[in-house]
Structure 1
């Protein structure tokens, strides 16, 4: 699936079938359902999940918690616009 197709799917009530859980989390966050996105990311133990988790806490405004999760992901804390980070994470996850 392309990023453009995923973005177009934001008009729908439910995510497209067949998304990986972390892409689905990013979809829910883009829909404005931070809690659902967080529940998905929190339930997965991987560096990618930690990256999504970091992004979500950054979006929430909790920089300290975000910093912890960036470290768990093995990444530097992001300082780019939130929408740019969403795109970066989602494109990388879609490319796998």
Structure 2
């Protein structure tokens, strides 16, 4: 799936089949369902899920918690908008 296909899929009521857990989290976030997105991000303990988890807490405004998850992901908090971060993470995961 390309980034553009993924982005367009967020207008539908259900996510496309076969998305990874971190991509599902981003998909639900794009749909405005932070709770479902957060549940997906918490479902795995790998670095990619930690990155999505960090992004979600940054979006929530809980920067201390976000910082913890960025460290777990081996990343530093980005100096970009939330939309730019969402797109960068999604593009990275779809490569």
TM-score of the alignment, normalized to the shorter chain, above 0.5: yes
Stretches of structure 2 that go unaligned for 5 or more consecutive residues are none
User: Within 2, Cα distance between the matches of 1:73 and 1:40?
Assistant: 16
Runs of 5+ consecutive residues of structure 1 not aligned to the other structure: none
The answer to whether residue 19 in structure 2 is matched with residue 47 in structure 1 is no
Normalised by the length of structure 1, the TM-score is 0.96
Aligned residues: 95
Give the TM-score, by structure 2 length.
0.97
Paired with 1:74 and 1:6, the residues of 2 have a C-alpha distance of 25
Distance 1:77 1:62 in 2: 12
Q: Runs of 4+ in structure 1 displaced over 4 angstroms? A: none
TM-fit CA distance, 1:43: 1.5
User: What CA distance in whole angstroms lies between the structure 1 residues aligned with 2:75 and 2:3?
Assistant: 22
Q: Secondary structure at the match of 2:54?
A: helix
